[in-house]
């Protein structure tokens, strides 16, 4: 465990419980170098909208686990210093995403069956992420260079998503234009089964109760990903 890094994470005093936060996970200069790598050295899919690159195991947008047909990809040198050291081992799946202004991601929970820990690191322009459970909803401002870990209620019982729009309205009424944003999502494969029992959001609980996978809350995310996939 990285005790120094762990001590720098603080839980946000809000609902949902379990959002751990660290400002300035990297310096502004480091962020500039990373964005230069993202823009000039990486090969992105040739399409519009939100774009993704995968390291370690590849995220499977149909099963929401890992794609068994794609070989493991070693973490590149630029990614190594960005790996959280608060877990007992490195993540199994890392996803770098680019969000142009106006792009979003549907409300979802990351699959309980496949994944345990979940972290997200933000670069570039800030954006509002909405957490929701039933009628309860909370906006979190994902500021550049911040690292967020979702644990407990935030990880298991609340969906999170980013609305497709070109501006965000802040709590004081300020309308903030969106800009180019990148994020890195870190996922660890779950050892054992999830025991949360939430039939609405947990794929393990749904399977135990004989529910079809298509009823899960991530169906819109899969449809969106398939629609954006390049045609061969």
Give dist(CA 27, CA 13) in Å, integer: 25
pTM, full prediction: 0.88
Q: What is the pLDDT of residue 6?
A: 52
Q: In CATH, what number does 10-197 get?
A: 2.60.120.1520
| Domain spans of the chain, in order of start | 10-197
pLDDT tens column, 7-41? 689 999 999 999 999 999 999 999 999 999 999 99
Residue 196: what are its φ and ψ, rounded to 5°?
-70, -30
Give dist(CA 7, CA 4) in Å, integer: 5
Q: Confidence class of residue 232 from pLDDT cuts 50, 70 and 90? A: very low
Distances from the Cα of 214 to the Cαs of 10, 17, 42, 104, in angstroms? 36, 28, 34, 22
pLDDT tens column, 144-182? 999 999 999 999 999 999 999 999 999 999 999 999 999
pLDDT tens column, 49-83? 999 999 999 998 888 889 999 999 999 999 999 99
Cis-peptide into 146, omega within 30 deg: no
User: Roughly how many angstroms between the first and final C-alpha of the chain, as a whole number?
Assistant: 44
């Amino acid at each position: 465990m990285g005790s120094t890094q762990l001590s720098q994470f603080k839980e946000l005093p809000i609902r949902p419980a379990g959002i751990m936060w660290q400002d300035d996970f990297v310096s502004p200069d480091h962020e500039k170098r990373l964005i230069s790598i993202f823009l000039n050295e990486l090969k992105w899919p040739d399409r519009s909208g939100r774009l993704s690159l995968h390291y370690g195991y590849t995220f499977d947008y149909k099963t929401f686990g890992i794609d068994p047909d794609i070989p493991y990809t070693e973490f590149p040198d630029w990614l190594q210093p960005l790996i959280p050291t608060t877990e007992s081992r490195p993540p199994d799946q890392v996803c770098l995403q680019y969000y142009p202004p106006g792009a979003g991601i549907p409300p979802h929970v990351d699959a309980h069956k496949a994944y345990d820990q979940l972290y997200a690191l933000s670069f570039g322009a800030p954006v509002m992420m909405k957490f929701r459970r039933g009628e309860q909803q909370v906006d979190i401002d994902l500021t550049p260079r911040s690292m967020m870990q979702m644990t407990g209620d935030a990880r298991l019982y609340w969906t999170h998503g980013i609305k497709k729009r070109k501006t965000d309205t802040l709590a004081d009424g300020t309308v903030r234009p969106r800009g180019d944003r990148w994020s890195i999502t870190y996922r660890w494969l779950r050892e054992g089964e999830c025991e949360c029992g939430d039939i609405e959001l947990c794929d393990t609980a749904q399977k135990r109760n004989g529910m079809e996978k298509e009823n899960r809350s991530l169906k819109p995310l899969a449809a969106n990903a398939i629609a954006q996939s390049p045609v061969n």
